[in-house]
Amino acid sequence: MMQKRAHIPTRDEYQKTLTKLTEQKNLDTLIALRLGCELGLTRLEIVNLKTTDLDRINKRGLWVEVAKQVRRGNKKGRGGRYKPNFEMRKREVPVNTSLYQLLISYIDKSQVYILKRHKGDPRKPFTPRYINKLYEKSGLTWATHHSRHFFKNQVKDWMRRHHQIDDELIKDYMGHKKDTTETYGDLSWDYKLEILDGVFQ
């Protein structure tokens, strides 16, 4: 088994990997990889995406229902004591045109989850470890979490080249907590799509 290097892939390395997976017709890994590298999704988010989550709210939007738990203030517990309040982070992420077309052709509406189950109970999601196995079987040389770093780097690099750094948008894409001033108003859906289309054209 190939030893993973602790690195974030370069754009060239990523493109070569996409070409290899496409030539091998390895669609399951291709989809998992692109969801991590082009949407910044975590393993937990990827395995829990349902086929009904695409275009659920906005066209070319992917609803993320199950994600990591994040702290949302405090709540009163037994005895009147306050304790941390954790909730699942839910959000809608925009999908670039190329990945959207691939998802449309890949998704099997007879299955519950986007990642196809070729055996086992199709009503159950894979465990996050399944994404690691896809990476390992395909010889990918970086860890699954580095795909999320790759996504953020690509967005920031594009913004720098176009002289329009937008930290609020990056937080929105990544599902990170925004500061107080960033919670006023909302970023338009068209704007979110436009930037991602520019980054991953």
CA angle 53, 37, 134 (to 5 degrees): 85
pLDDT of 118-161, one tens digit each? 999 989 999 999 999 999 999 999 999 999 999 999 999 999 99
Domains and CATH numbers, the chain: 11-199 (1.10.443.10)
The whole-angstrom separation of Cα 107 and Cα 83 is 41
The whole-angstrom separation of Cα 69 and Cα 46 is 15
pLDDT of 64-98, one tens digit each? 998 766 566 667 777 777 777 656 578 899 999 99
